[in-house]
Amino acid sequence: MKAQAIESSADRIAASAWRAVSHSAISARLSAEDRPARSSGWTISRAADGKGWSILFGSFDSRLYCLDAGTGRSNWAFETGTGIKGTPAVAGGLTVVGGCDAMVHVISLTNGTQLGEVEIGAPMLASPAMHQRRAYVGHNENVFFCVDLERGTNLWSYKDRGFAYISSPAMMGERVVFGGRDKRLHCLNKDTGNVIWTFPTRSKVDSSPAICADKVVVGSDDGRLYIVSLKDGKEQWSYAIGQPITSSPAVADGKVVVGCEDGNVYCFGPK
């Protein structure tokens, strides 16, 4: 495993002053956010309320871009080996992103300088999650990793069956939750990698779960949206839409919003 240690960084920036958004997230919020640069075929326009914010996004041109949300001007750009498909994670003055080069890159938010990298052995489509200088992400083969960003090493890895992990993880307390192409939702202890529970669906789970209090919401290619208990993984509710759900649900104000492969966006909640 190739790794570079990360020095304690003095260039810390409050995480609350940053937004990390993916290619798809920005395209869905064109009225509120600056659009990315020409590499994606978009133009830049001034955001109405972007003062004090920056926007991070990866591109198939192998670069991670940081734009000023109020002006659309480039703060910096960082070049990786190949295209970036996942959303960058942000915490503690750092951003972490992976891509098709099979590397987890650790980058300063201040100026886009690379502070470290860890090789994990296969390309990543998923977006990492960060907590206390650790990054959690799965790759396109069959391993889910916890990477120690301070030491630049792999802290633990989880390998169950020979299926990819495209789903991006969600975290709450001691738990990290993510879907797999083995048709299951997985919940591990974030410190040890030990299995807490798994929940079976009828098809692959590329949808990234959302955790809301003591519940986990996730879609599956079996055409169902599920709510399961965060504590034990038991099903509490499901709804059959009938077409694959590969998008990630959003939860707000007691409602769940999710897109489906049938071309529709669904909203679930009390009447």
Instruction: For residues 212 and 114, state if they share a domain.
Output: no
Cα three-residue angle 236-239-241, rounded to 5 degrees = 160
The CATH number linked to 78 is 2.130.10.10
Question: With contact defined as beta carbons under 8 Å apart, do 100 and 85 qualify?
Answer: yes
The CATH number linked to 257 is 2.40.128.630
Q: What DSSP string runs through the chain?
A: --B---PPPS----GGGEEE--HHHHHTTTTTSPPP-GGGT------TT-TT-EEEEE-TTSEEEEEETTT--EEEEEE-SS---SPPEEETTEEEEE-TTSEEEEEETTT--EEEEEE-SS---SPPEEETTEEEEE-SSS-EEEEETTTTEEEEEE--SS----SPPEEETTEEEEE-TTSEEEEEETTT--EEEEEE-SS---SPPEEETTEEEEE-TTSEEEEEETTT--EEEEEE-SS---SPPEEETTEEEEE-TTS-EEEE---
Q: Is the dihedral of CA 265, 98, 78, 55 positive or negative?
A: positive
The whole-number pLDDT of residue 77 equals: 96
Instruction: For residues 32 and 69, state if they share a domain.
Output: yes
Instruction: For residues 147 and 203, state if they share a domain.
Output: no
First to last CA, the chain: 53
Instruction: For residues 32 and 125, state if they share a domain.
Output: yes
pTM beyond 0.75, yes or no: yes
Instruction: For residues 88 and 214, state if they share a domain.
Output: no
Instruction: For residues 89 and 79, state if they share a domain.
Output: yes
From first to last of its 271 residues, the chain has per-residue pLDDT tens of 333 333 332 232 233 333 333 333 322 222 233 333 333 333 333 444 556 789 999 999 999 999 999 889 999 999 998 899 889 999 989 999 998 889 999 999 999 999 999 999 999 989 999 998 999 999 988 999 999 998 999 999 999 988 999 999 999 999 999 999 999 999 999 999 999 999 999 999 999 999 999 999 999 999 999 999 999 999 999 999 999 999 999 999 989 999 999 999 999 998 7
Question: With contact defined as beta carbons under 8 Å apart, do 88 and 112 qualify?
Answer: no
Nearest to 221 by CA among 185, 252, 257: 185
The whole-number pLDDT of residue 49 equals: 52
Domains identified in the chain, total number: 2
The tokens describing 122, both together, are 């296969």
**Burial, 169: exposed, middle or buried (Cβ in 10 Å; 0-12, 13-18, 19+)?**
buried
Instruction: For residues 30 and 146, state if they share a domain.
Output: yes
Which residue range(s) make up the domain with 261? Answer: 161-271
**Final residue of a domain: which of 125, 143, 159?**
159
Instruction: For residues 149 and 259, state if they share a domain.
Output: no
Instruction: For residues 69 and 152, state if they share a domain.
Output: yes
Instruction: For residues 146 and 172, state if they share a domain.
Output: no
Instruction: For residues 37 and 88, state if they share a domain.
Output: yes
The whole-number pLDDT of residue 50 equals: 52
Could you tell me the maximum CA-CA distance found in the chain, to the nearest angstrom? 53
Other beta carbons within 10 angstroms of residue 187's beta carbon come to: 27
**Final residue of a domain: which of 103, 126, 159?**
159
The tokens describing 96, both together, are 């972490």
The whole-number pLDDT of residue 224 equals: 98
Instruction: For residues 182 and 120, state if they share a domain.
Output: no
The whole-number pLDDT of residue 45 equals: 36
The tokens describing 2, both together, are 């190739």
**Final residue of a domain: which of 125, 159, 193?**
159
